[in-house]
Structure 1
Amino acid sequence: MANASKAKGTAFESALVAYLREHHNPGARRNVQMGAKDIGDIDGYYLHALEAKAEKTITLSSYIAQANREAVHAGQPYGCAVVKRRMKGTADGYVVRDVATDVRLMNRFRDAEELLKEYNFSVWYEHDQHHRAA
């Protein structure tokens, strides 16, 4: 049974890497496990240590604690868990982080957008319109 669970996790990680390569970062890849200093399952999700989970029983608190710990090990500012949704494809999974991490991330986005808007309003406007349409 452990091998079936491991195979399920590996398949989800591979599917997630393929999705990220197509839609986010062509350089996304699975990480080699590092034991006590693990750096997350997948590298290449911008600014994040990503912990991929495909389990029957979902335990968000342990996933987030693990992701946050691995973000520190990876030198990334944010940790998140990507949780497979049962009977659904990769894009239907859930990205989960704690509220404190999400607020830090949203503050960073807000500050970056304000800087871009002040630096070059027309570039910011095009950027804003592009991402509203997506």
Structure 2
Amino acid sequence: MGSKDIGDVAGYYLHAAELKAEQKITLPEYIRQANREAINAGEPFACAVVKRRNGNVKDGYVVRDVATDVRLMNRLRDMEEALQNHAPEDYAELDRVHREAA
């Protein structure tokens, strides 16, 4: 989409996702591109989804810069605290489900 590219895939919650499957992996460029696309898309977070060479997509990597990861973790913490305060039973159930899935 040129200078106003908004990422390669829709539906990666709250993210502009840049998908990569290349022989040579250049993380800094992927992250710069994803960060630009997040701004264009109006999404708060950006990531690069990088397929492992000769591997399955499910064994690839999701990569973001540290600043983005800190903002994401702060948001997760704040939202969990809000849910704990306003709906502790719902929080406990969701926490259990997600811990079991790990």
Counterpart residue number, 1:109: 76
Return the offset for 1:87.
2.0
The correspondence for 1:127, drawn from 88, 91, 94, is 94
TM-score by length of 2: 0.97
Q: Tell me, which stretches of 5 or more residues in structure 2 are unaligned?
A: none
**Secondary structure at the counterpart of residue 95 of structure 1:** strand
- Do residues 36 (structure 1) and 3 (structure 2) align? yes
Question: Percent of pairs identical after alignment?
Answer: 64
The code of the aligned residue for 1:61 comes to P
**Secondary structure at the counterpart of residue 12 of structure 2:** coil
**Secondary structure at the counterpart of residue 42 of structure 1:** coil
What is the root-mean-square deviation in Å for CA atoms of aligned residues?
Answer: 0.6
Counterpart residue number, 1:97: 64
**Structure 1 runs (4+) greater than 6 angstroms displaced:** none
TM-score by length of 1: 0.74
The correspondence for 2:40, drawn from 73, 78, 83, is 73
User: Which has the bigger relative contact order, CA under 8 A and spacing at least 6?
Assistant: 2
Question: What is the alpha-carbon distance in structure 2 between the residues aligned to residue 63 and residue 90 of structure 1?
Answer: 17
Question: What is the alpha-carbon distance in structure 2 between the residues aligned to residue 78 and residue 123 of structure 1?
Answer: 26
The correspondence for 2:52, drawn from 66, 80, 85, is 85
Deviations 1:31-55 (A, max 9, x none): xxx1111000001100000000000
Q: Tell me, which stretches of 5 or more residues in structure 1 are unaligned?
A: 1-33
